[in-house]
Structure formats: structure tokens, C-alpha cells
Amino acid sequence: MYVIACLKSAGSEFTVQEIVMESKKFERPFGNSHANQMLSSLTDKGLIYKNRHGKYSFAVPMLAGFIRRQEIPMPLAIGLTD
């Protein structure tokens, strides 16, 4: 969900391809099939929904901003393991 929240279009609609491209910026990118599986699971849980044009959106307004605020910055996360 963090990868989706980092999309520029996270506040409106996003596609599987956008998610896959964004994931390449992170340590462990994933492919189309993995993204589709995750989206299916998130849809079943009611966190996102698929519109009639085949794009996805968060089911809760401003959820992307909330998710981004929960991420611990890397320097702080490294200090937690010491």
C-alpha cells in the first residue's frame, strides 16, 4: 500500500502499470502478476476499488496521505535496530 500511496495519482485513480513502475524505485520491485494479486486482495478487504474503466482508487478519501505519514524515515528505522 505504501508503493501505491507514493504514486502522484494516488489521490484519484491509478493503474497496475503505474504501481509496477513505482515499485522499481524500492528495494524489492514486483511485476504485473504480483501487483494484480495484491490489488485483488486489497479489493476483497474493501481498501481499494476498481472502477468501470479498469483503474483503481483508494476506498477511503485521503488514505494515501495517511499511509505516507506512517512510514518511518530510514535513518530513524536504522537506529531502532541498534
Domain 2-80, CATH number (from 3.40.50.300, 1.10.10.10, 2.60.40.420, 3.30.70.20): 1.10.10.10
Position 72 scores a pLDDT of 65
pLDDT band of 78, cuts 50, 70, 90: very low
Terminal alpha carbon distance of the chain = 27
**β-strand 48-50 against 56-58: which pairing, if any?**
antiparallel
- pLDDT for 74: 52
What distance in Å separates the CA atoms of residue 58 and residue 80, rounded to the nearest whole number? 31
The band of 70, judged by pLDDT with boundaries at 50, 70 and 90, is confident
pLDDT given for residue 52 in this prediction? 84
